[in-house]
Structure 1
């Protein structure tokens, strides 16, 4: 039996006043952290900057990027056993946050919204709460 590699994603954790930025794609009900899959040859930082600019119309300031953590869980909407590995970064940005590309809306989430996010995002929510970074 072969094991499938985890889906590799990069995510941006952006917290303001105890709330974390979430995004929802067009036609979906689940919220997730902005970001996405890397393109061939891209570093984590390059993926983060490109994805956030595509999805939210802002530019991450590269010298402010800080690693937050890597989390793994069952991939949303995929067969059992297909995992997603989300490497998360924090960082400042320039520009005005607004939905773009496939993103229908951006929202500010608290821990009460935990059931509205993907499985891997729920693990990250737990981590953010343990560190008192988001409100209950």
Structure 2
């Protein structure tokens, strides 16, 4: 099974914004699963508004990459496909809905994130975008 998700990558001062959902032990990039018929951009806008109470500026969204790994907390063989975008937002990200905590993480925090996020952390670090 493949879990199809879209994520927002916000880099600031060589750190990346991550969120922890209530009841979870790892951080994830903000975003989520698409609803039937939604485009990547529609999913990104909806999920980021729900989770962080900010509005994505659609014209600024840029595809960063698509990554796959074992889905955290799911049976072996269940993969998550994470399509990542950078984008500007209006407002200040605030933990909302199911989000318990948000944090700006560095590469030193790599072990605190899900398997697919680790791959993105590695890519950002290789590109000297994540300290």
**TM norm structure 1:** 0.95
Query: In structure 2, what is the Cα distance between the partners aligned to 1:27 and 1:119?
Result: 18
Larger radius of gyration: 1
Give the corresponding residue for 1:50. 46
The 5 A counterparts of 1:31-46 are: 31-46=27-42
Superposed displacement of residue 28, structure 1: 1.3
Once residues 35 and 114 of structure 1 are traced to their aligned partners in structure 2, the CA distance between those partners, rounded to angstroms, is: 18
TM-score, normalization: structure 2? 0.99
Pick one of 94, 100, 105 that aligns with 1:98.
94
Number of residue pairs matched? 131
Matched with 1:20 is 16
Tell me what 1:86 maps to.
82
Which residue of 93, 110, 116 maps to 1:120?
116
Q: CA RMSD in A?
A: 0.5
Runs of 4+ in 1 over 3 A off after TM superposition: none
Stretches of structure 1 lacking an aligned partner (at least 5 in a row):
none
1:2-17 equivalence runs, <5 A: 4=1, 6-17=2-13
In structure 2, list runs of 5 or more residues that go unmatched.
none
